[in-house]
Amino acid sequence: MKPTIKLQTSRCMKRGDKLHGLEEPPRRVSCAISRAWTNLTFVGCLAFFAGCATQTPLDHGLTGPFHHPGNYYLTDRKLPEGLGRIAMLPLTSAEDDLAARSGRESLQTILYGELIKARLFEVALVPSEKLEQLTGKPAWSSDNQLPADFLVRIREATACDAILFSRLSNFRPYPPLAIGWHLMLVNAEDGRIIWKLDEVFDAGEPRVWNSARRYAVENERTQAEFTRLAGTKHGAAFPSRVTGLEWINSPRHFAKYAASAAIETLVTSK
């Protein structure tokens, strides 16, 4: 029997405010002027309340409460110095049904993209074919018994300082959407855990829903600014602006929020 290793786990105005710039109308005015003033005020009120009534669902409730991942562990509450590159192994899933199989590839791309966007370290994605060539299997989970030379093989092939195991622990691609990440980053030298997260982001939970909406609005603003700059510099607008509601109702876009929120715990201590 080949020797194996097992990764160790660790534990519009407020009442009383004044309108500046508007003088009180003279007391001695004609009836026509008085009626005009009244009509103007009435129209202004209608416009104000009409604006309030046409707010989208994304405009309401963005003050919270929000979801903050709590089920994670970060050694010494910060990433170790000298962590320059990690090797990201293929995303696995707790279930092997049709939904999980169809979601793994796209969600792996999203997780990889959010890691790159975070700019915390270089990320070397290890394809399934390469992993099978190196270790004999196309995918590994952090709770598997690993070959004794597993870390050495990955480290030598990717020149990494740490290895990321990722598993899709929960996936519901229909409303209310839900995505669960089980992520573990281990030292490529000795297998010690650097960071571990096990969190489910369920859009059915009000705090998660609020956080996803906030993320959607921030994305909308970013794309609107890109559109403005593109139109100014190149004479053309960004062609495929994604609206906030699409972010919440699309599994792919919701996964971006869930991945981003999970990765934030790499730099956020409890």
**Chain segment 135-150, per-residue pLDDT in tens:** 999 999 999 999 999 9
**Cα dist. 262→3, 188, 250 in Å?**
34, 21, 18
Q: Report the pLDDT value the prediction gives residue 64, as an integer from 0 to 100.
A: 80
Q: Kind of pairing, strands 178-187 and 122-125?
A: unpaired
Classify residue 40: in a domain, yes or no: no
**Each residue's pLDDT tens digit, 28-73:** 334 443 444 344 333 333 333 333 333 344 554 477 899 999 999 9
In a domain, 189, yes or no: yes
How many separate domains does the chain show? 1
Q: Percent of the chain at pLDDT above 90? A: 55
CA atoms within a 13 Å half-sphere pointing along the CA-CB vector of 54: 6
Whether 240 is covered by a domain: the verdict is yes
Say if 6 falls within a structural domain: no
CATH number for the domain spanning 166: value is: 3.40.50.10610
- Kindly state whether residue 182 falls inside one of the protein's structural domains: yes
Q: Is residue 245 part of a domain?
A: yes
The pLDDT of residue 151 is above 90:
yes
Residue 2 region, left (φ>0) first, then alpha (ψ -120 to 50), else beta? beta
Residue 244 contacts residue 61 (beta carbons within 8 Å) = no
What the block records as the tokens of 149 is 């030379």
Range of the domain at 190: 60-264
Taking residues 205-213, what's their average pLDDT? 93
- pTM for the whole structure: 0.73
